[in-house]
C-alpha cells in the first residue's frame, strides 16, 4: 500500500485502548496517556510483508513470556508500503536473557548492549532491550556501561527516547497492531517529520538528530513540521561537535539509499560543510559542481534499483569524484598522493577509515586512466591488470555512460565502441603478443596461465 492518508479507515479502526504495562514498577508518571493502538483492518501492514525471521524471533520471545515488538524504521517503512532496510526488534528481555535462550546471538556494544541474532543467509536482526533516555552529564564516560537500572525502561520510555515520531511506532505481532505513544500515526497520516518533544531540547541533546530529521523527510518526501523546522537553523551547526566516528556512521546511512534527496536537503540547510569540510562547502556553494554530484547519485540510485550495488569504497569514490576531478586537469606523475592530500586537507569532520579512503583514491586514479584510454584509444595492458580496475570500470560506466556495466562487459567492449574496431584490436593484440613473448623468454612459470582473457 503506497498511501497512508486513509490510515484511520472508517474511524472505528483507530482506537485508544490501554496496553497493560508489561513491566510493573518501571513505568514513569511523566507520560501517563495510554497509547493509540491501530488494529486491523485499518492497519496498512500485511503480516506477509514482514520478514519471516523477524516474526520468528518475536514469536519465540513472546512465547517465553517477553514483550517483543517490531520497532523503528521497519514499522515506518512497512506502513508506507516500502521495503524496510533492516528489521529491529524491541523487547523487555535483557541481552543476557536473549543470549541464553537463542542460538546464533552475539551481544555487541559496550555502552548499550544489543543482541544481534544471526539468521540464515547472513541476515542480522537487532534485538534491543527497551531503554530510557539517559541523563547526559559531562562526567559520563562513553565507554563505560551505565547501571542497568538507569538504562532500561518501559516501551513508553523507549518510544520517547527516540528521535522523531514516525520512527517510534511499535508493531505487536501478537495482536497484529501498531502501538503509538508519541503521535507518530497522526504524523504519518499528515506525512510530517516531527521531533519527539521540544526540538531545541532534543537537538541540543544530540545534534545528529537535525540530520536525521532532514534525512527522513527527504527520503520519504515528507514535510518537516513547522516547530521542528524552525529549530534547525539554530542547531545545525552543532553537528560539527559530534564525533567523527558518529558522523561517519550516519553518513553511511545516507549512502545506503536515496542519497541524492538527502544531499539536497543537507545542502539547502548548509550542513554539508559541517560533515564534509571543504568538499561539503564546495558542493554547497558551487551549483555546477552540485549538479554533477546530483546527477551521479541519480544514476547510482537507478542502478541500485536495478540490483546493482556499489561497494563502500566505490560509493565513497563516487561522492569524491566531481570534487576531485578538476585535479586531473593538471596531472602529476603520481596522482595518488595528490588526491590523498586533497582529502586530508579538506578538514572533514567525519572520520573515514584510512583503508577506505586509500581504496577510493586508487579507484579514482584508475577511473581517470581508463577515461583517458577511452579518449585516446590507447591502453597499456598493464593498466587493465591493476588492482581495483574492475571497480574503476564499474564507476566509469556510471560516470561516462550513466549506467552500470552490462553483464560480461569489459573495458575492451567500451573501448571498441568508441574507437574503430580494427585499429584498437590490432594494437591490443600486438601488445599481448609482445608480452607473451617476453614472458616465454623469461621462462616464467606463470606464463602459461591467465592467457584466456
Could you say which of 44, 73, 236, 280 contacts ligand ATP (CB under 6 A)?
Answer: 73
Contact status: 73 vs Mg ion (CB under 5 A): yes
Residue 391 binds what, of ligand ATP, Mg ion, none (CB under 5 to 8 Å, by partner type)? none
Give the nearer residue to ligand ATP in terms of CB position, either 193 or 393. 193
Give the nearer residue to ligand ATP in terms of CB position, either 163 or 313. 163
Stretch that binds ligand ATP, among 161-169, 172-180, 282-290, 433-441 (CB under 6 A): 161-169
Give the nearer residue to ligand ATP in terms of CB position, either 217 or 396. 217
> Is 449 labeled as catalytic in the residue annotation?
no
CB of 166 to ligand ATP, least distance (A): 8
Give the nearer residue to ligand ATP in terms of CB position, either 17 or 227. 227
Residues 6+ apart with CB under 8 A from 243: 351
Residue 253 binds what, of Mg ion, ligand ATP, none (CB under 5 to 8 Å, by partner type)? ligand ATP
Residues 6+ apart with CB under 8 A from 192: 166, 222, 223, 224, 225
CB of 206 to ligand ATP, least distance (A): 5
- Chain centroid to CA 254: 4
Q: Which residues pair with 106 in a beta bridge?
A: 116
CA–CA separation, 120 and 66 (whole Å): 23
Three-state DSSP at 349 gives coil
CB of 253 to Mg ion, least distance (A): 8
User: CA dihedral in degrees (224, 226, 229, 233; nearest 10)?
Assistant: 160
Q: Which residues pair with 158 in a beta bridge?
A: none
- Chain centroid to CA 33: 34
CA–CA separation, 307 and 405 (whole Å): 12
> Is 18 labeled as catalytic in the residue annotation?
no
CA–CA separation, 121 and 191 (whole Å): 35
CA–CA separation, 69 and 178 (whole Å): 9
Residues 247-266 vs ligand ATP: string with x where CB under 6 A? ------x-------------
> Is 180 labeled as catalytic in the residue annotation?
no
Could you say which of 208, 224, 242, 346 contacts ligand ATP (CB under 6 A)?
Answer: 208
CA–CA separation, 363 and 348 (whole Å): 20
Contact status: 86 vs ligand ATP (CB under 6 A): yes
Residues 21-60 vs Mg ion: string with x where CB under 5 A? ----------------------------------------
Residues 6+ apart with CB under 8 A from 163: 195, 196, 202, 206, 209, 212, 213
The catalytic residue among 13, 27, 49, 86 is: 86
The dihedral built from the CA positions of residue 431, 436, 439 and 441, taken in this order, carries a sign that is: negative
Residue at shortest CB range from Mg ion: 73
Three-state DSSP at 125 gives strand
Residue 167 binds what, of Mg ion, ligand ATP, none (CB under 5 to 8 Å, by partner type)? ligand ATP
Give catalytic residues, as residue numbers. 86, 88, 163
Q: Which residues bind ligand ATP (CB under 6 A)?
A: 72-73, 85-86, 88, 162-163, 167-168, 206, 208-209, 212, 253
Amino acid at each position: 500500500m503506497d498511501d497512508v492518508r486513509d490510515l484511520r479507515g472508517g474511524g472505528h479502526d483507530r482506537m485508544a485502548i490501554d496496553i497493560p504495562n508489561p513491566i510493573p514498577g518501571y513505568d514513569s508518571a511523566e507520560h501517563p496517556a495510554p497509547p493509540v493502538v491501530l488494529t486491523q483492518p485499518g492497519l496498512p501492514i500485511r503480516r506477509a510483508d514482514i520478514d519471516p525471521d523477524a516474526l520468528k524471533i518475536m514469536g519465540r520471545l513472546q512465547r517465553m513470556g517477553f514483550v517483543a515488538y517490531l520497532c523503528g524504521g521497519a514499522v515506518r517503512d512497512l506502513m508506507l508500503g516500502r521495503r524496510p532496510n533492516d528489521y529491529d526488534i524491541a523487547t523487555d528481555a535483557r541481552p543476557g536473557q536473549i543470549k541464553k535462550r537463542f542460538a546464533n546471538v552475539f551481544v555487541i556494544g559496550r555502552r548499550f548492549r544489543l543482541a544481534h541474532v544471526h539468521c540464515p543467509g547472513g541476515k542480522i536482526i537487532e534485538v534491543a532491550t527497551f531503554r530510557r533516555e539517559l541523563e547526559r552529564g559531562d562526567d559520563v564516560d562513553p565507554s563505560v556501561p551505565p547501571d542497568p537500572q538507569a538504562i532500561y525502561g518501559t516501551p513508553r520510555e523507549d518510544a520517547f527516547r527516540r528521535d522523531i515520531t514516525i520512527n517510534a511506532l511499535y508493531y505487536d505481532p501478537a495482536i497484529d497492531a501498531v502501538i503509538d505513544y508519541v503521535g507518530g500515526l497522526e504524523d504519518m497520516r499528515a506525512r510530517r517529520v516531527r521531533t519527539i518533544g521540544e526540538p531545541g531540547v532534543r537537538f541540543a541533546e544530540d545534534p545528529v538528530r537535525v540530520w536525521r530529521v532532514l534525512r527522513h523527510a527527504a527520503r520519504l518526501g515528507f514535510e518537516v513540521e513547522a516547530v521542528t523546522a524552525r529549530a534547525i537553523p539554530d542547531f545545525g551547526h552543532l553537528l560539527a561537535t559530534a564525533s567523527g566516528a558518529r558522523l561517519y556512521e550516519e553518513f553511511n546511512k545516507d549512502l545506503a539509499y536515496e542519497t541524492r534527496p538527502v544531499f539536497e536537503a543537507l545542502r539547502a540547510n548548509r550542513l554539508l560543510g559541517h560533515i564534509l569540510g571543504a568538499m561539503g562547502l564546495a558542493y554547497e556553494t558551487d551549483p555546477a559542481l552540485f549538479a554533477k554530484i546530483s546527477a551521479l547519485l541519480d544514476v547510482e540510485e537507478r542502478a541500485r534499483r536495478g540490483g546493482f550495488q556499489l561497494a563502500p569504497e566505490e560509493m565513497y569514490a563516487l561522492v569524491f569524484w566531481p570534487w576531485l576531478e578538476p585535479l586531473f586537469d593538471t596531472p602529476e606523475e603520481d596522482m595518488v598522493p595528490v588526491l590523498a592530500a586533497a582529502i586530508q586537507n579538506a578538514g572533514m569532520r567525519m572520520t573515514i577509515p584510512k583503508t577506505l579512503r586509500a581504496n577510493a583514491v586508487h579507484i579514482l586514479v584508475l577511473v581517470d586512466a581508463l577515461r583517458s584510454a577511452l579518449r585516446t584509444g590507447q591502453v597499456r595492458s598493464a593498466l587493465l591488470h591493476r588492482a581495483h580496475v574492475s571497480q574503476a570500470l564499474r564507476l566509469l560506466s556510471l560516470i561516462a555512460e550513466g549506467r552500470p556495466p552490462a553483464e560480461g562487459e569489459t573495458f575492451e567492449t567500451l573501448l571498441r565502441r568508441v574507437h574503430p574496431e580494427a585499429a584498437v584490436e590490432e594494437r591490443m593484440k600486438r601488445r599481448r603478443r609482445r608480452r607473451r613473448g617476453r614472458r616465454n623468454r623469461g621462462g616464467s612459470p606463470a606464463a602459461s596461465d591467465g592467457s584466456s582473457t
